[in-house]
Chains A and B, each alone.
Chain A
Amino acid sequence: MEFYLKVLEITSLHTILVLGAYLMTGLTGLFSLGQGAFLSIGAYTAAISYLYFHVPFPLAVVLAVLIGSLVGFLIGIPVLRLHRDYFLLVTFGFSEMVRATLLHLAQLTGGALGIAGIPKLVGLPTILASILFITFLIFNLKRSRFGRNCIAIRDDELAASLMGINVYGHKMKVFILSSAITSYGGALYAFVIMFIEPNLFHWLESGKLIVITFIGGVNSITGAIIISVAYYSFGEFFRFVDVWRDVLLSIAVLLVTIFRPKGIFGSWELSLTKLFRRRGKGM
């Protein structure tokens, strides 16, 4: 039982990160390998302020989100002027930079030894409630002007700006929001896993977040969540397949790009109102 609970916790933690990546890569088409950096910033800010500065836990989480968003804003200023592969490379560099900084600021971060002895203050209910709340926010954004602008920018930046969309400004909003969500996930991460170190989330993991949103379907939040749950819980349950799970993921990527280029779920969204309406009619 303990084991299943643990698996669920880790899976849902990753789902928060996938939601952050969904907003950025899925909806807006910004391929960022910097998500890991924001996770680390969130985790370290929360852990350090709680352990060393005795900031109360909720405040530590708020602080993590604020600092994550602030860094997102500062990094966003130059990075969002870049496109496609350049954007990818610079966010990758940023993520490695954060990792190196954490490694060398040993007095504060414990260097390669990391920070141990973080109390376990976050349980499954908190994480699940967070997922529901974040999904609610993103879903609302997706179905009104914000979401349309995101997709318009992803499809054709020039046409988007000629439809009156401030492309740079909008990307900035997306970048900051995504950083905020990811640092929030990072803050929770620290208080669930109870131990953090600079290598806990390197760029390959950021890459996986992108891959997961693509397999789920860039136009479907439901898809991103389902594939995220499937991938991360599969990984924990089938520890014995070990390295092979990345091989399986790669095969899945190949099959999806060939046979369902818009992702497994395409543009399909689970709609609660429709679900209930159908049930109501049935009775």
Chain B
Amino acid sequence: MEVLRITNLCKDFGGVSAVVQFGMVQQENEITGIIGPNGAGKTTVFNLITGIYPVDSGEIWFYGKRITGYPSHKITALGITRTFQNIRLFRNLNVLDNVKTAYGVKTRYTMWEEMVRYGRVREEEKRTEELARGFLSYFGLEKHSDSFPYNLPYGLQRRLELARALMASPRLLLLDEPGAGLNPKEIRQLMETLMRIQQEKGLSIIIVEHHMELVMNICKTIHVLDFGKKIAEGKPEEIQQNEAVLHAYLGDQV
């Protein structure tokens, strides 16, 4: 089943072409990687999918529904969540509440019910709490539920962001450099975690990443970007042999 289809996606920033005619298809229950040198437009692709930037031209389809031009919060409600390259947690909410915020799209009570703490609010808050605690212990964060996110070590902040993204029960998860700043041991943990959640939850995942070890080991398909253009697409083995990719990363041979 097709989760995401992007066709002819373009984005300029004042004369600089960040993304040019980008297209990809994401299949269900697969992990896909997007790689490329710095400034290749990988994060821009994510920002276009999640509606942070308006697209210049091109179309984005999610489960057969055209989502081009949707505002970010609607895209999230439809089932696409993401993490950020530079961690963006809510600094004035504790770890537990950070995770809870993502469940707002699933709670159904109204503001008026909240004001008087109507029965339904209590029930749904209780369910939210249980779910959030579940995700915290899944990521080994249960001890820290009352701390504030920026008092946690960096590795744990990354995990918290992942927990928060999963709390919204997404069908497609976008991870923007999930391995940045992690040591080799943490990278291996991350790989195991990603494979496990992908299988357990039947998730589709797209990863933007620089760590080749991570991408080559867990991705089924890899797209390579350079200067906003897609220069290659294929299985990890194929990408490793690809002339154009080697050229983009290593330059001309002398």
Q: A-side interface residues toward B, CB under 8 Å?
A: 137, 140-141, 144-146, 148-149, 151-152, 154-156, 158-167, 173, 218-219, 267
Question: B116 near A144 (CB under 8 angstroms)?
Answer: no
Do A144 and B88 touch across chains, with their CB atoms under 8 A apart? Answer: no
Judged by a CB distance under 8 angstroms, whether B82 is at the interface is yes
B104 & A154 in contact (Cβ 8 Å cutoff): no
Q: Which residues of A contact B77 (CB under 8 A)?
A: 164
Contact A155 B104, beta carbon cutoff 8 Å: no
A137–B117 alpha-carbon span in the complex (Å): 9
Given contacts A151-B93, A155-B92, A158-B72, 18 further A-B contacts (CB under 8 A): A140-B116, A141-B115, A148-B104, A151-B90, A151-B97, A152-B90, A152-B93, A155-B93, A159-B89, A159-B90, A162-B50, A162-B52, A162-B73, A162-B76, A163-B76, A163-B101, A164-B77, A164-B104
B residues near A, CB below 8 A?
50, 52, 71-73, 76-77, 81-82, 84, 88-93, 97, 100-102, 104-105, 107, 109, 111, 114-117, 121, 125, 164, 168
Q: With A and B bound together, what is the CA distance between A140 and B90 in angstroms? A: 20
Contacts of A141 in B (CB 8 A): 111, 114-115
What 3 pairs across the A-B complex have the smallest Cβ distances?
A164-B105, A164-B76, A159-B88
Q: What are 11 A-B pairs at a CB distance below 8 A?
A: A145-B109, A145-B114, A149-B101, A155-B92, A156-B89, A158-B88, A159-B90, A162-B50, A162-B82, A164-B76, A267-B92
The secondary-structure label for the interface of chain A is helix
B114 touches A146 (CB 8 A): yes
Q: A161-B71, A161-B72 are in contact. Are A148 and B100 (CB under 8 A)?
A: yes
From B76, B92, B115, give the contact of A151 (CB < 8 A): B92
Contacts of B71 in A (CB 8 A): 161, 166
Bound: A165/B102 CA distance, A:
8
Kindly state the separation between the CA atoms of A125 and B31 in the bound complex, as whole angstroms: 64
CB-based contact A163/B93 at 8 Å? no
Q: Is the CB of A140 within 8 A of B93?
A: no
Q: Are B125 and A144 in contact (CB under 8 A)?
A: yes
User: Given A152-B90, A155-B92, A156-B90 in contact, is the A163-B114 Cβ separation under 8 Å?
Assistant: no
A141 to B71, CA, bound (A): 25
Measured between alpha carbons, how far is A146 from B113 in the docked complex, in Å? 11
Q: For A167, what are the chain B residues with a Cβ–Cβ distance below 8 Å?
A: 73
A148 surroundings in chain B (CB, below 8 A): 93, 97, 100-101, 104
Assess the B168–A163 pair: CB atoms within 8 A.
yes
Task: Report A-chain residues with C-beta under 8 Å of the C-beta of B111.
Answer: 141, 146, 173
- Chain B residues in 8 Å Cβ range of A145: 100, 104, 107, 109, 114, 125
Cα–Cα distance between A265 and B88 once the two chains are bound (Å): 25
- Tell whether, in the assembled complex, residue A165 and residue B52 are in contact, meaning their CB atoms are under 8 Å apart: no
List the B side residues contacting A158 at CB < 8 Å.
52, 72, 88
A165 to B168, CA, bound (A): 11
B115, A137: Cβ atoms closer than 8 Å: yes
B214 to chain A: closest CB distance in Å? Answer: 23
Residue of B nearest to A137 (CB): B115
Question: Given the interface contacts A144-B121, A152-B93, does A165 sit within 8 Å of B88 by beta carbon?
Answer: no
Considering only CB atoms, which chain A residue lies closest to B115 in the complex?
A137
| Chain A residue nearest in CB terms to B72 | A161
Residues of A within 8 A of B90 (CB): 151-152, 155-156, 159-160
CB distance from A183 to the nearest CB of B (A): 17
Q: Once bound together, how far apart are the Cα atoms of A156 and B73, in whole Å?
A: 14
Which chain A residues border B107 with CB–CB below 8 Å?
Answer: 145
Q: Contacts A140-B114, A162-B81: A152 and B101 contacting too (C-beta < 8 A)?
A: yes
CB closest residue in chain B, given A174: B111
Q: A140-B115, A146-B111, A155-B93 are in contact. Are A160 and B76 (CB under 8 A)?
A: no
B92: chain A residues within 8 A (beta carbon): 151, 154-155, 218-219, 267
Q: Are B81 and A165 in touch, CB under 8 angstroms? A: no
Provide the bound-state CA to CA distance between A146 and B107, in Å: 11
B contact residues around A163 at 8 Å (CB): 76, 81, 101-102, 104-105, 164, 168
> Given the complex of chains A and B, what is the CA–CA distance between A99 and B116 in angstroms?
35
Known: A140-B115, A146-B114, A173-B111. A164 touches B168 (CB 8 A): yes
